[in-house]
Structure 1
Amino acid sequence: MPGMVTQVRSPRRDEPVQIGALVPLTRPGWVEAGQHLLAGLELAVREVNDGGGIGGRPLELVVRDTAADPQKATAAVDELARMGVAALAGEYHSVVARAAAARADALGVPFLCSSAVLDALTEQPTRWVARLPPPQSRGWRIYADFVLGAGHSHIAVAAQPSVYWASGARLLRDHVASHGGTVSELDMRSLDPTAVCDQLADSGATALLLLLGTPEPAVPIVKSVRRDPRLAEILIGAPAGQPEFAEWAALLGDDGTAIPFLRYLPEHLTPLGVRVDTALREQLGGAPSFVAFEGYDTVTVLADVLRSQGADGGDGADGGDGADGAYDWARIADSWPHVRVEGTRGQIQFSRTPDISVWQWTWGPVQVVDRDPAAPDRFRVLHSG
């Protein structure tokens, strides 16, 4: 509802071009993911400014912590829209990104989603929202193909209640069933780690997939399964990427290895990606996750859009400008299909994809990887799609 945006003056030529960044930085959000996302966003902003900014104006992030709370995200979108930011960016959690996308769509504010995969980010097709990571329907089917190819046709999932986990469980169940397998669900509303092991042992499943938050309850469940002699041959998997982050290795050690998960990196980074990898390692004090590259690519895309579409304020002549002409939000959003940007992981361009309501980078990279038992800080690529 555009009327929710209060009027603001058009920006002066010496004022920063502001991007509103939605990032989970406190619990119950996946804080390490938020830190990596923010690191990538910040690095790209510094490099844009080192290169002259946007038409000579500095680029500036206005960061809001969503704490994995959809209501906080919605309130942040309202606030950032009233401030007259040029665009919105970020968010890691799919349910939170969905709330932010719905609000951005209602207000008519461009939103580039950095790292959330839920297919239905908005209820209806929207011009305002674009997304970098592959949709869940693509990534999780690739993951299911890997699990089936490894010989596991009877799969159990331990799932918490949420739209995201329910969507993932449904995708897995349908895809596995189409290949003659079965997926049974363990209801985590009533099971502790010991009960999970008991049900898993009785089920006859050869794989357990964790559709759970981390560190709780995923970490204690992994520990229990690893220590149960009845489950010595069970494959533990984590399609949502929980083992990607250093906290996982720190809490689980060897128990956290050989647990396949999804990440969105190519076999080889682009030359830009190699340089960014070095810079991010210095900034983070360790290896960057795919989420950090998603953050960097987000700003790279938005900077290109803002340069090409004129982020110096609009006169509202087309009726689609941002608050009182601060930015021509409609012009920015209408540039999604024209994006051709070399990112850290390949050339980024957006298109309309069947059953996806937002502008989508259709062929972003997908890998199934795990932590190497011989060296837990090293990742093994098991499958690409």
Structure 2
Amino acid sequence: MSAPPLPPATEPADVPADESAVRIGALVPLTPPGWVEAGHHLLAGLELGVSEVNEAGGIAGRPLELVVRDTAADPRRAAAAVDELAALGVAALAGEYHSVVARAAATRADALGMPFLCSSAVLDALTEQPTDQVARLAPAQSHGWRIYADFLLAEGHSRVAVAVEPSLYWATGTRILRDRLAAHGGGVVELDARALSPEPLCDGLVDSRATALLLLVGQPEPAVPIVTSVRRDPRLTEVMIGAPAGQPEFAAWAGSLGGDGAGIPFLRYLPERLGPLGVRVGAALRERLAEAPAFVAFEGYDTVIVLADLLRSHGVERARLAESWPAVDVEGTRGRIRFSRTPGINVRQWTWAPVQVVDRDPAEPARFRVRHTG
């Protein structure tokens, strides 16, 4: 089965590309079933980074250009986009939010000898084999989700239920949680969110005797109906709801759920306090997005800053860029970025971006509270 046709780049079709430009291919989910809101935040960060690089003189006097392709959360579409972007002569690839999609893109980039800086995907096994082509900014899932499990234990939740959909990403997250909780005498009960509608799922949650329910499901469906049902069930008033993958970070969550969406802890990859660069970039992102930027937007910005530094220092030849990940030493919005070989991770990894467990304040759902730091 062939992949669906790829959309054009974001520049208008009647405007020719600048042949003098240094081009970066950007992989972003911009249409369903991709998480479109996350894609827009990621793209806003990438675009802001490119704009600021060009305002500062570009790459040795050449403009930096972003060539955007919509992955729509489809691994085959992402792999096809990597082929197309390689043929267009981009110097490197950037972006992607969905872990399984990023894995397909990373595998194809490795096969083609294409440098790829993954912005947001966290799946540990981003590639099956060690590669010098791929680097990643986001913390690996095993790192962030262990921190989330430690938060659960500190809050007294050792018996946890997960509402889960079939996915390599969700299955891996469940395993991480189970292993961490089991080491402290706890356990995980799985509730199949595909087989159970919200009301029977609530029944299963009652039977499980779990004190917390984690949403390992898509947003808004079925996450929003599940939250609404649990909040309305008088048997479950003491059950904490959590969403380690970050669904409550985005404005649409609060828009759909209102106060019901508050008090649901999630993972966020920001420091407790941003430095001067992070504050400045955060203000620019807020203006560009017309809402508070999610951490994903900062990941997009940092991706461009890292690639621009490499392109200035090492040129645009792909093989040389891929060899230069260990030379990265850049001040990003969330700390100093350097890449290393991390045990169990087959790509170059920033070890680590800051990790928080955060929720929306029930007293003021537009405000975030830091509940735990890793």
TM-score exceeds 0.5: yes
Aligned counterpart in structure 2 of residue 219 of structure 1, from 224, 238, 241? 224
Aligned counterpart in structure 1 of residue 365 of structure 2, from 351, 370, 376? 376
Deviation at 1:187, TM superposition (A): 1.4
CA displacement 1:137-193 (0-9 Å, x = unmatched): 000000000011100111001110010000000000011001110111111221110
Q: Which residue identity is paired with 2:324?
A: S
Look up the SS of the partner of 1:40 in the other structure.
Answer: helix
Aligned position for 1:340: 329
Look up the SS of the partner of 1:307 in the other structure.
Answer: helix
CA displacement 1:271-323 (0-9 Å, x = unmatched): 11111011111111111000000000000000000000012xxxxxxxxxxxx
Look up the SS of the partner of 2:213 in the other structure.
Answer: strand
TM-score of the two chains, using structure 1 as the length reference = 0.92
- Distance, in Å, in 1 between the alignment partners of 2:106 and 2:242 is 29
Look up the SS of the partner of 1:262 in the other structure.
Answer: strand
Aligned position for 1:205: 210
Matched, 1:31 2:20: no
Unaligned runs of 5+ in 1: 1-11, 312-327
CA displacement 1:20-67 (0-9 Å, x = unmatched): 000000111111100000000000100000000001000000000000
Aligned position for 1:321: none
Aligned position for 2:148: 143
What pairs with 1:1-385 in structure 2 (closer than 5 Å)? 15-311=20-316, 328-385=317-374
Deviation at 1:267, TM superposition (A): 1.3
- Distance, in Å, in 2 between the alignment partners of 1:266 and 1:367 is 7
Deviation at 1:221, TM superposition (A): 0.3
Q: Which residue identity is paired with 1:52?
A: G
- Distance, in Å, in 2 between the alignment partners of 1:253 and 1:342 is 37
Q: Which residue identity is paired with 1:235?
A: M
- Distance, in Å, in 2 between the alignment partners of 1:261 and 1:67 is 23
Look up the SS of the partner of 2:365 in the other structure.
Answer: strand
Unaligned runs of 5+ in 2: 1-16
Deviation at 1:269, TM superposition (A): 1.2
- 1:273–1:345 contact (8 Å) kept in structure 2: yes
- Distance, in Å, in 1 between the alignment partners of 2:164 and 2:346 is 25
Deviation at 1:13, TM superposition (A): 10
- Distance, in Å, in 2 between the alignment partners of 1:278 and 1:189 is 40
Look up the SS of the partner of 2:97 in the other structure.
Answer: coil
- Distance, in Å, in 2 between the alignment partners of 1:337 and 1:213 is 35
Aligned position for 1:5: none
Deviation at 1:110, TM superposition (A): 0.2
- Distance, in Å, in 1 between the alignment partners of 2:147 and 2:208 is 25
Q: Which moved more, 1:92-101 or 1:186-195?
A: 186-195
Aligned position for 1:316: none
- 1:90–1:113 contact (8 Å) kept in structure 2: yes
Q: Which residue identity is paired with 1:353?
A: T
Look up the SS of the partner of 2:228 in the other structure.
Answer: helix
Look up the SS of the partner of 2:130 in the other structure.
Answer: coil
Look up the SS of the partner of 2:368 in the other structure.
Answer: strand
- Distance, in Å, in 1 between the alignment partners of 2:217 and 2:63 is 40
**Number of residue pairs matched by the alignment:** 358
- Distance, in Å, in 2 between the alignment partners of 1:22 and 1:31 is 12
Report % sequence identity: 75
- Distance, in Å, in 1 between the alignment partners of 2:90 and 2:238 is 53
